[in-house]
Amino acid sequence: MVAVKRLVLDVLKPHRPNGLEFAQTLAAVGPDYRVHLTVLEVDESTETLRVVVQSDALDFDAILLAIEQMGGSLHSIDEVEVQSGGRAAADR
């Protein structure tokens, strides 16, 4: 099995929720998710973010759903880190 370990996302969101609430909500998607959020641009009604999410096994669909439920939209996936479980994991 291949696990997604790290995602770097370009996200557009409204001003509310604020960055802290947005990051906390994403971190709550998984039990060991770590989120680093950087505001790249602010305009009249939206903010462009660089969001880095890390874990031993990320659930991309759940992350995307959380972003959309907060009024955000995914512009692009800018970086991805994945790791194969190797032969031992495949035999389990």
Inter-CA distances, 55 with 26, 42, 73, Å? 12, 28, 21
CA distance 32 to 56: 8
User: Taking 50 as the threshold, does the pLDDT of residue 92 lie above it?
Assistant: no
Percent of the chain with pLDDT over 70: 92
Class of domain 2-91: alpha beta
Average pLDDT over every residue of 22-32: 98
- 45-90 pLDDT, tens digit per residue, is 999 999 999 999 999 999 999 999 999 999 999 999 999 986 654 4
Residue with tokens 């995307």: 64
Residue 69: which H helix or E strand, with range?
A: helix 60-69
Spans of all domains in the chain: 2-91
36: its two tokens: 């680093």
Angle at 69 between CA 29 and CA 57, to 5 degrees: 25
